[in-house]
Structure 1
Amino acid sequence: MVKEPSVTHTGSSSRTVRTKTKAPSRNPVGTGKKRRPSGKKNRPKKKIRLSLPVWLNYVVMGGMAALVVIGFYYLFIRPYAYRWKPCYGTKAYGVCLPAGYTVHGFDVSHHQGDINWEELRKTQYAPFPVRFVFMKASEGGDFSDTTFIRNFNCARQYGFIRGAYHFFNPKTDAARQAAFFIRSVKLEPGDLPPVLDIEKVGDDENALRKGVKTWLGIIERHYHVKPILYASYKFKERYLNDSIFNTYPYWIAHYYVDSVRYEGKWKFWQHTDGGSLPGIKEQVDLNVFNGTLDELKQMTILPDSVFFRL
């Protein structure tokens, strides 16, 4: 038999009402799923991909490579191009020596380490004799070069014309630096005048010039000889190019060029920092003197100097 659906009688009405069974919800409570409303906002965005032609990719890569090569040339090759130029003059001590100079020298500090002076002495009898040497003695107001005393004594012992230099610190009182150099360096007859090495500007250009003048004045009054001023070509032109500083003997640092471009007077030229000398393991700065050996000796402190009679 077919079962009839249940009926409910309301009052006296004879209408038969059929109750419908409620269909289960498609998203029952507790399932955690919600129907995503349809609409354009919820549609996934399409990624736009730009594709370049193959030939254009090669052009871009080639341009980037060219920029790298050009940058490398201007930063690392052009400033030192002189090293790779053919040497049409005289090559010695690992470099091409400047033409027209007969008096050669070098300068050292603790960066060169221990020096074999017996071996180094052989350069005095080489085809291009090395005659003089400058040594770093002090820096600022309290730093003494650890190799100065030994090098200074050995230079005299092995027959080199010797000199001492002070590395100027623009942030330290100039009078204090001069006093420190005087305590550190005891010059003797035959030594070259003291040298002031200036490479840093500091915070104030005017303060730098004032400090340099103070140091030079104190040293000149003490040793009774004009000190030598050391600075690079560009540094001298920019910061120390006036009538006062031009009265001091100038030692110019100008690397990898065939000749000095400085138009003023100069006595020494540091022409390279890549020299090789026997007895020195590290590379060394090489210099030439702008004159003869007799003229170099005339620059040295004489035995009858007022300084030695005090």
Structure 2
Amino acid sequence: MPSRNNPVSVVQKRKPVSSTKKKRVSSKTSRTFRKVESKHNRPMSNWLRNVLAVIIIVCFSIIFYYFFVRPYTYRWQTCHGRKEYGVCIPCGYDVHGIDISHYQGKIDWSKLLQNKDTDFPLHFVFMKATEGGDHGDDTFEANFADARDHGFIRGAYHFYIPNTDALKQADFFIRTVKLDSGDLPPVLDVEVSGSKEKKELQKGIKRWLDRVESHYGVKPILYTSYKFKTKYLNDSIFNTYPYWIAHYYVDSVKYQGKWDFWQHTDVGSVSGIPVNVDLNVFNGTLEELKKMTIK
């Protein structure tokens, strides 16, 4: 039995952990943390990164081709006919012309006249005169006079704004454009529908056409794209007007109805004009074009 002077504690003291054991625990804990961390921060494997890169490149290429290459592939195709003014000229048409506005800048009409001596001479020029109810093209007056002075068959067009009163637009065009004998009929350029429903859009267009026809005594020419015509103006009443179709980068007109002019490109390079210009053909002979003019 122990003595009263040297008692042994009932509770045993905890032995201190050796430094070696501490190191083993610390090392094990560190490895566990690194393992968990590596699961979350493990770098993407090379094959997965390469697959994602290929998918991104393919998607980008498809989008780029669809929006920026496909619409213009016709430019790089082999011409089935002849090349002039920097583009393939549609086969089977003898009467060529251009349409211009302030976007073409200052035109050298003497140089432009020289294009009558090419294999595909230019015979007619359409010019933008007005837009909406109060906006006039600031080059129209000078260009319209120069076209007549240099012997071109000339025409004038109005850019239609659906949300502006049709009669206001028609009267503005009438005040601006004085057509003479030998000029082509007035043109209504319709490219946008605005906020109008189809029937309401058609009603406004018809009001413009009727007002202008009543003033000039000749049916106006209706200009619009192939898609717009078939979507919004496929009513038989609009088929009674001469049709000027806009249809780019194709070697033939796909429209099944009757048409008189075809705007086949917007990237023509013509001597006398500092920038690209729209090129057109007339669906007939030069004599037939002259018969179409105002008497």
Query: TM-score over 0.5 for the alignment?
Result: yes
Q: Identify which range, 289-298 or 119-128, moves more after superposition.
A: 119-128
2:230 is the counterpart of 1:237: yes
Deviation of the 1:88 alpha carbon: 2.4
Cα distance in 1, alignment partners of residues 74 and 151 from structure 2: 32
1:120-171, CA deviations, whole angstroms, 9 ceiling, x for partnerless residues?
Answer: 0001121111000100000001011000000000000000000000000111
Q: Matched residues in 1 for 2:42 and 2:57: separation?
A: 23
SS of corresponding position for 1:244:
helix
Query: What is the match of residue 14 of structure 2?
Result: none
Code of the residue aligned with 1:67 in structure 2: it is C
- Ranges of 4+ aligned residues in structure 1 off by more than 6 Å: none
* Matches for 1:245-284 after TM superposition, within 5 Å: 245-284=238-277
Match of 1:295 in 2: 288
Equivalent residues, number:
260
Instruction: Identify the match of residue 60 of structure 1 among 52, 58, 66.
Output: 52
- Structure 2 residue 128 is matched with structure 1 residue 136: yes
Equivalent residue number for residue 139 of structure 2:
147
The question of whether the paired residues in 1 share the 8 Å contact of 2:163 and 2:196 is answered with no
- Partner Cα separation in structure 1 for residue 92 and residue 223 of structure 2: 22
> Unmatched 5+ residue regions in structure 2?
1-32
TM-score normalised over the length of structure 2 = 0.86
- Determine what percentage of the aligned residue pairs are the same residue: 61
Equivalent runs, 1:195-206 vs 2, <5 Å:
195-205=187-197, 206=199
Alignment of 1:22-33 (within 5 A): none
Q: 1:87 aligns with which of 70, 76, 79?
A: 79
Are 2:118 and 1:119 aligned?
no
Whether 1:77 and 2:83 are equivalent positions in the alignment is no
2:158 aligns to what?
166
Alignment of 1:93-108 (within 5 A): 93-108=85-100
Separation in 1, partners of 2:158, 2:42: 63
Q: Secondary structure at the match of 2:279?
A: strand
Deviations 1:229-252 (A, max 9, x none): 000000000000111101000000
Report the residue type matching 1:214 in the other structure: R
Match for residue 27 of structure 2?
none
Deviation at 1:50, TM superposition (A): 4.2
Amino acid of the structure 1 residue aligned with 2:259: W
Partner in structure 2 of residue 183 of structure 1: 175
CA apart distance, 1:66: 1.2
